[in-house]
A = this chain, B = another copy of it.
């Protein structure tokens, strides 16, 4: 005959299909030799047989269960239904896949009017015994007999009122006894039968109830939703009860095998003597540190310590263990991977690796890369009760605290005086760069994730909250209004830019910390990953920072950001306002040495590593001031009647701004289109790159320039620009440096470029997917408009699962990338491919890049450690070693 009951000793973790998840794990822990209260499991096959028989207990099953019960009685020196030392058991369901909606637990089964007296005697605690009994009747009534708890709860409420008790703990033994009598009448009233006093009947009914719960409505719906087969059935676990409240040699507690907040290797947890689990939670008494058990119950402490070590090795992770001590005997009731802080998670992963428990691959796959954000940016210490005064877009992560400064000049002046400031502005423009540089962080009321403030702040690694629409600025009054609240310039303000939140006043900041363990973990990641990690960096300072964080090159150096800086902007503006090529060339000649100096410093900072320089991309009008401002300035000048020359210049600028104004600037005259129309601009930049390379080479720097042409949509655009590069390279480099190896490539950011990747690849050494623009054009979403106007509705309405500007859209944009990589490499096998959009710093997107066979991802310097881990996890995932987050691993 088929064996339908397995004692915990007879099973193991592999027998999940037969014993259910819980039963198999209890068996596993028993097999490890750990002190688990004895018990047994009725198999899922028994449940299947129950249903096969039309909902009848299979013949002989109760005999088998009784046989196993004998074993429990022996182990516990107790008797099921016995009066002197009654054996009490818990009955729990246990399906193969954990499944809400099924019967959970009946405790204290085995109590009746007789055995309760024995329990009272044995524990010397009558109140406790009768409390156990009334709980049992209530649980049994609810889950086995189908009497709603509300009927029982009402009676307790009446009992408390009648006896003037404020809580259940105050109810006395005699009061519980009276209540139990009433409980039993309810059962009889509603079922037509008295509450079963026969403990074997109790057990049979409980087992049947577990079987039936497999097919209740909620369980069925759940199975359907998750595709769990209906015929699987559930197991039933029957386990001896243990009690931590049987005197001073008893107790209950929780133990972490390592410190969950620091990750230090030490036993950490709490213990409450003479108590049951629920007492710890109720907080009636203050628990002691687990370490005190060392002196109080040295044997138990030693056992616990050994069990902790064993479980860590067995489950290969820090464990969170529930235990009970019953008269000096330790019992483990549950173990699971423990929750921990970001810092602890890294220390634990690295320590476990050093201890030989984890491989480097496992250590890396255990890390939630998002945790690195917490570690690598400063964060605000926000009091629990403090609400933000406003919310905006988390445009650049981190936290900033400072005095409100309402314009760039003020911000700069105050910063020079040594005060910390936050620049608060409607929006920012190139004219405000000095203010952004001087500020701790930036807060704007308008503009999205790609607004000027957002892009510049991200590039600088400065915290920034954008598009905080509740905020309005009164420049007359020098104040900021948010609803009813008015803050004067100079008041303190705090930004939690990672969360897009704004707080009043100056909160305290905690600094980021790069621990030695993090460095070790990043080393592990570097051994595993295939993707190279480059940085988006526009300044030598950023490049330096990126290198410190482990960047293996610059994937995107935006030359226009060099144009924005204070002293150059007027020259750039004159260049744009120039009447013709000749005048334009005059100003370009003045810009050349500046760009050359920038590039030379970049090359120096990235000695031996590639530096990808993107030629000018934005439309020219971005370098000119806002026309409304200009008109205002002009009007004022005309009123005073002074400075006619200045007014004339302003007017020229207004007319140029109008001329350059575009209906859809995103789809207008920018990128390589500028290079085709005004080749002299690109010529200057290319010349500056080669001259810088030559100077750096002279100083002994290993220079690896990669020149990137933006917004190519037609192969001929790249062909012509490549010819320009080669041509100017030949002229600018002197004989001895002609051998310089440089690459010429393009951004793939227009859908057409992806579609024509094969022909474009003929002229390219590399493709860099500009996923920001590619996403905009593939979706037909202007990021600036979408994020304010409809993207939230799409996310809330669940049309989009994620913001495609944060998480790469693999269904659509991903197809284009895949297509372009495949076709590009078919033409040129050594074509180097990577991405340089903001997706370069997103985990899923990095995983996509790995799978698609790109060579690198490029992200902002502060995101590099994150990307190193994510790239390694992607490589592991690809090898089938699915990165499993610790929280998903739950045992018993």
List the interface of chain A (C-beta within 8 A of B): 662-669, 673, 676-677, 711, 713-714, 716-717, 720, 749-752, 755-756, 773, 776-782, 784-786, 789-790, 793-794, 797-800, 809, 811-813, 815-816
Contacts and interface: CB of A to CB of B under 8 A. Distances in A.
Contact of A676 (B669, B790, B811): B790
A756 B811 contact: yes
Contacts of A750: 778-780
Given A664-B782, A751-B778, 17 more contacts: A663-B666, A664-B666, A665-B785, A666-B666, A667-B780, A667-B782, A667-B786, A676-B793, A714-B794, A714-B799, A714-B800, A717-B799, A750-B780, A751-B777, A752-B813, A755-B811, A756-B812
B785 A667 contact: yes
A749 B750 CA distance: 15
A781 B667 contact: yes
Contacts of A798: 716
Contacts of A714: 794, 799-800
Contacts of A669: 785, 789-790
A755 B716 CA distance: 25
Contacts of A811: 755-756
B666 A816 contact: no
Q: Which 10 pairs, one residue from A and one from B, show the smallest C-beta to C-beta distance? A: A667-B782, A664-B782, A752-B812, A668-B785, A750-B780, A663-B784, A664-B664, A664-B666, A751-B751, A662-B785
Contacts of A751: 751, 777-778, 780, 812, 816
Contacts of A663: 665-666, 782, 784-785
Nearest to A800: B714
A789 B668 contact: yes
A777 B777 CA distance: 5
Contacts of A673: 790
A778 B755 contact: yes
A495 B809 CA distance: 49
A664 B785 contact: yes
Contacts of A815: 755
Given A667-B785, A773-B780, A780-B711, A676 B797 contact: yes
Nearest to A794: B676
Contacts of A781: 667, 713
A169 to B, nearest CB: 51
A668 B786 contact: yes
Contacts of A793: 676-677
Contacts of A813: 752
A665 B664 contact: yes
Given A665-B664, A755-B816, A676 B799 contact: yes
A618 to B, nearest CB: 13
14 contacts: A663-B784, A663-B785, A665-B785, A667-B780, A668-B786, A711-B780, A713-B812, A714-B794, A750-B778, A750-B779, A751-B777, A752-B812, A752-B813, A756-B812
A826 to B, nearest CB: 15
A657 to B, nearest CB: 14
A129 to B, nearest CB: 58
Contacts of A668: 782, 785-786, 789
A782 B662 contact: yes
A815 B815 CA distance: 13
A717 B797 CA distance: 10
A664 B779 CA distance: 13
Most buried by B among A673, A714, A752, A798: A752
Contacts of A812: 713, 751-752, 755-756
Contacts of A713: 779-781, 812
A467 to B, nearest CB: 12
A784 B665 CA distance: 10
A780 B775 CA distance: 11
Contacts of A776: 667
A614 to B, nearest CB: 16
Nearest to A811: B756
A777 B799 CA distance: 21
A745 B655 CA distance: 45
A815 B756 CA distance: 9
Nearest to A450: B663
Contacts of A716: 798-799
Contacts of A794: 676, 714
A781 B753 CA distance: 13
A152 to B, nearest CB: 45
Contacts of A800: 714
A420 to B, nearest CB: 32
A809 B677 CA distance: 22
B664 A784 contact: yes
> For A664, A720, A793, which residue has the most chain B Cβ atoms within 10 angstroms?
A664
B799 A779 contact: no
Nearest to A713: B779
A663 B751 CA distance: 21
A338 to B, nearest CB: 39
Nearest to A451: B663
A753 to B, nearest CB: 9
A751 B754 CA distance: 11
Contacts of A780: 666-667, 711, 713, 749-752, 773, 777
A782 B750 CA distance: 12
A461 to B, nearest CB: 26
A809 B750 CA distance: 14
A444 B758 CA distance: 42
Contacts of A756: 811-812
Nearest to A813: B752
Contacts of A773: 780
Contacts of A666: 663-664, 666-667, 780, 782
A567 B800 CA distance: 39
Contacts of A786: 667-668
A782 B776 CA distance: 13
Contacts of A676: 790, 793-794, 797, 799
A233 to B, nearest CB: 35
A665 B782 CA distance: 8
A655 to B, nearest CB: 13
Nearest to A812: B752
A668 B794 CA distance: 13
A677 B790 contact: yes
Nearest to A793: B677
Contacts of A677: 790, 793
A676 B793 CA distance: 8
A303 to B, nearest CB: 56
Nearest to A716: B799
